[in-house]
Amino acid sequence: MPLENGKLKELYRKMVTVRTLEQRVEQLVTAARIPCSGHFGTGQEAVGVGVSGPLRTDDYLFGTHRGFAEYIGKGMTPAEILTEYYGKATSLSRGRLGQHLLKVDIGVMPLPSSLGSEFGMAVGAALSSKLRGSGQVAVNLFGEGTAGQADFGPALEMASLWSLPLIFACNNNQYVELAHYRNVVATEDIAPRAAGYGVAYEIVDGNDITRVYEATERAVERARNGGGPMLLEFKTYRRGSHYTGDPGGYQPAEEIAAWAKKDPIDRCRERMLADGVWSEAEEQALRQAVQDEIDAAVQFAEESPYPDPATVYEHIYAQGGMSA
Amino acid sequence: MSQRKITFIQAVREAFQEEMRRDERVFVLGQDVQAGIFGTTSGLVREFGQERVINTPICESATVGAALGAAMTGMRPVVQIMFGDFNYMAMEITANQAGQWHYISDGALRAPMVIETPSGARGGAGYGHSQSLEAAFILPPGLKVAVPSTPYDAKGLLKSAIRDDNPVLFFEHRRLLTQRGPVPEEEYLIPLGQADVKREGRDVTLVAVSATVQKALRAAEELSRRGVEVEVIDPRTLVPLDKETIFRSLQKTYRLVVVEEGRRRGGFGAELSATAMDEWFDYLDAPVQRLGAISAPLPYSPVLEAACIPSEEDIVHAVLRVLGEEE
């Protein structure tokens, strides 16, 4: 289905929230207010926001380490993200997860430190959905570099063999850590690998929020109706560094500038303005509202207490079941 | 208790049948689980169908990953890793993921899953199909480790493992698989974390793991003929460990020997010895004796393999050493 204007505005708001929040968190990391480093995704916000856009609340999302797009997209708030990054007692995990954003009750599933370890887990979530007949779809977002992990092929194989409701969503931002992906990835496209396992695939402009959303929506509906898995590859570009404070210098300035002209937020706004569904006044109001929300979230995280060290002994094992 | 005797394999299969009938969330996946390479899952597919007895591609890590993903989303999978050695291929998922997400999610996620894994040296299987790797799973947090030594224990422990809300490694020593033992017709469970005193004795506490329990019992008979009464304790699970039962025995014997087929260096015996020093020092009349495999790969020739792992005779000597009757 074509994207409705109301939904498009919601996606736009989320993209603006993601970029504003990422810029703010990067400042907080640099200022050592936040103990971890950060991996941000300036220029690729349309992928995570667009992929999570068509999902039901109970659909499973296995996201990436880069940026907040799919996490804001799936419904996490800036305050939930900031309190995790700060390691504060008010975070959903009470200071245990940090960058590994998780919110189980809206289907935000584990982001393993060892990227690619979620391939099997996403298969399992989709298998579970199928066995329970729940109609839930699982989406596994991963980078083109993570496609090198050992479980990628077997996950495609299992999803294909068992016709699972699982969407493999490759966010190809062209940089694998500190190197252009063609240094370490043998082919320009990841998507055709799916064919080797009998899985359908599609390559999509990852800087066009409408195309990302609509391609994902088609794949999700197909999977929900028993059509099996699909691999979507979104072509985008990471304009920022791998991590805050990395040495830099490996991305040509003209390459960054060329992709800046294809910025997904600018493209979305210009199209909405041209179509007459968005105004400068709405833009100003949105920017202010997003800024206010993030300011409040930063203040909340700053003022929140750290967890009580005595809590480290809690939840090592799940109680219940037969024995503890 | 009835006097019915069945094999270890049959006991494990009965545990699967009973738990799969009881709870439709329980399912089995792994390489060749439909045919059942060692027999523990044979025939399940006839009763429960291919949806609940799933043959997987050859990839241990993605298979354990799939079990974990299913466990986190409301199912209770049992994944079979055909040989214990192959657990290293899935170690990233088991150790870095399965055991940790409950904790780091602050309890939001659970991973109720079992890894059933035939393992151990049985003569002539070579370096990569023979290891006893139980101790490798003591180190990562959040896992439980079951090491049954009898058909009775295997059935009761597996049923508990399937009902547990944590990931449980369930090791089946391949020398035990075809052995018979009494298993009642009626249902029973054995809690994880409850040791069993396999033989009572007043002189020495001998803690034995998995297949070494039988060697320990034979050694105890031999020692009894020499006037030494050994108490043989099977911990049945290494995590959680029933320290109380071992300590109770030590308060009687003041002497501790521990034997395992896994490697001695960094093994369960090392952990138990350290525990004894930390917590029971006043109840030790002699240094703890610990036996395990040498820190070498297990060679193929059955003669060489046997030379790497503790024998009944080694156990006899260890007991005599802890008594000060041998150097």
- From chain A residues 43-82, the ones with a CB under 8 A of any chain B CB are 60
Q: Nearest C-alpha of chain B: how many angstroms from A269?
A: 37
Say what the ipTM of the complex is: 0.96
Residues of B in contact with A87 (CB under 8 A): none
Give the A:B interface size as CB pairs under 8 Å.
163
- Is the Cβ pair A151, B51 closer than 8 Å? no
- Is the Cβ pair A323, B74 closer than 8 Å? no
- Is the Cβ pair A158, B110 closer than 8 Å? no
| Closest in B64, B72, B163 to A322, CB measured | B163
Q: Is A32 exposed, middle or buried (0-12, 13-18, 19+ CB in 10 A)?
A: exposed
Residues of B labelled as active-site residues: 129
User: Mean pLDDT score of chain A, rounded to an integer?
Assistant: 96
Q: Three-state DSSP class for A36?
A: coil
Strand spans (E) along A87-184? 138-143, 166-172, 175-176, 179-180
Which two three-digit tokens encode residue B13?
A: 């299969």
- Is the Cβ pair A322, B189 closer than 8 Å? yes
- From chain A residues 116-135, the ones with a CB under 8 A of any chain B CB are 117-129, 131-132
- From chain A residues 253-292, the ones with a CB under 8 A of any chain B CB are none
Residue B42 DSSP code:
T
Q: Read off the amino acid at residue B221.
A: E
- Is the Cβ pair B70, A158 closer than 8 Å? no
The whole-number pLDDT of residue A245 equals 85
A196 touches chain B (CB under 8 A): no
The whole-number pLDDT of residue A320 equals 65
Residues of A in contact with B170 (CB under 8 A): none
- Is the Cβ pair A316, B141 closer than 8 Å? yes
> Taking the CA of residue A117 as centre, how many other CA atoms within 13 Å lie in the half-sphere pointing to its CB?
21
Length of chain A: 324
Length of chain B: 327
Given a cut of 70, whether residue B255 has pLDDT beyond it is: yes
Q: Is B274 exposed, middle or buried (0-12, 13-18, 19+ CB in 10 A)?
A: exposed
Residues of A in contact with B71 (CB under 8 A): 124
* H helix runs in chain B, sequence order: 8-22, 44-48, 60-71, 91, 101-104, 151-163, 212-225, 243-253, 268-279, 302-308, 312-322
The Cα B274–Cα B291 span in angstroms is: 14
Which two three-digit tokens encode residue A291?
A: 């800024």
Residue B32 DSSP code:
T
C-alpha A226, offset from chain centre: 25
Sheet containing strand A230-235, strands side by side: A60-62, A138-143, A166-172, A230-235, A200-205
Which two three-digit tokens encode residue B88?
A: 């290293």
The Cα A81–Cα A287 span in angstroms is: 19
Structural domains present in chain A: 5-308 (3.40.50.970)
Q: Nearest C-alpha of chain B: how many angstroms from A153?
A: 9
- Closest chain B residue to the Cα of A87, Cα to Cα: B104
What are the distances in angstroms from CA A324 to CA A316, B111, B156, B165, B176? Answer: 10, 13, 16, 8, 27
A313 touches chain B (CB under 8 A): no
Q: Is A60 within 8 Å of A138 (Cβ atoms)?
A: yes
Structural domains present in chain B: 5-182 (3.40.50.970), 196-322 (3.40.50.920)
The whole-number pLDDT of residue A323 equals 42
- Is the Cβ pair A315, B71 closer than 8 Å? no
pLDDT band at B327 (very low <50, low <70, confident <90, very high): confident
- Closest chain B residue to the Cα of A157, Cα to Cα: B57
- Is the Cβ pair A122, B108 closer than 8 Å? no
pLDDT digits 0-9 by tens, B147-189: 999 999 999 999 999 999 999 999 999 999 999 999 999 999 9
Intervals of chain A under pLDDT 70? 320-324
Q: Read off the amino acid at residue B153.
A: D
Q: Read off the amino acid at residue A289.
A: A
Q: Parallel, antiparallel, or unpaired for β B256-263 and B289-293?
A: parallel
- Is the Cβ pair B56, A124 closer than 8 Å? no
The whole-number pLDDT of residue B81 equals 97
The DSSP string of B62-117 is HHHHHHHHHHTTT-EEEEE-SSGGGGGGGHIIIIIIITTHHHHTTTS-----EEEE
Q: Three-state DSSP class for A134?
A: coil
A94 touches chain B (CB under 8 A): yes
Residues of A in contact with B163 (CB under 8 A): 321-322
pLDDT band at B256 (very low <50, low <70, confident <90, very high): very high
- Residues in Cβ contact with B230 at an 8 Å cutoff, skipping those fewer than 6 apart: B199, B201, B203, B204, B205, B206, B216, B219, B220, B223, B224, B319
- Closest chain B residue to the Cα of A131, Cα to Cα: B51
Residues of B in contact with A112 (CB under 8 A): 96-97
pLDDT band at B26 (very low <50, low <70, confident <90, very high): very high
Q: Which residue has the higher pLDDT, A76 or B327?
A: A76
* H helix runs in chain A, sequence order: 5-30, 45-52, 69-74, 78-86, 118-132, 152-161, 209-224, 253-260, 264-274, 280-303
Q: What are phi and psi of B237, to 5 degrees?
A: -130, 140
The Cα A22–Cα B184 span in angstroms is: 62
Which two three-digit tokens encode residue B157?
A: 């422990």
- Is the Cβ pair A162, B54 closer than 8 Å? yes
- Is the Cβ pair B72, A124 closer than 8 Å? yes
A110 touches chain B (CB under 8 A): yes
- Is the Cβ pair A129, B62 closer than 8 Å? no
The Cα B75–Cα B69 span in angstroms is: 9
User: Mean pLDDT score of chain B, rounded to an integer?
Assistant: 97
Average pLDDT over residues B222-251: 98
Q: What is the separation, in whole angstroms, between the first and last Cα of chain A? A: 49
The whole-number pLDDT of residue A214 equals 98
The whole-number pLDDT of residue A321 equals 56
- Closest chain B residue to the Cα of A99, Cα to Cα: B104
- Closest chain A residue to the Cα of B53, Cα to Cα: A131
Given a cut of 60, whether residue B2 has pLDDT beyond it is: no
The whole-number pLDDT of residue B3 equals 81
| Closest in B77, B104, B142 to A100, CB measured | B104
A232 touches chain B (CB under 8 A): no
- Closest chain B residue to the Cα of A94, Cα to Cα: B106
**What is the percentage of chain B residues whose pLDDT exceeds 70?**
99
| Closest in A112, A154, A321 to B57, CB measured | A154
- Is the Cβ pair A104, B92 closer than 8 Å? no
Residues of A in contact with B164 (CB under 8 A): 321-323
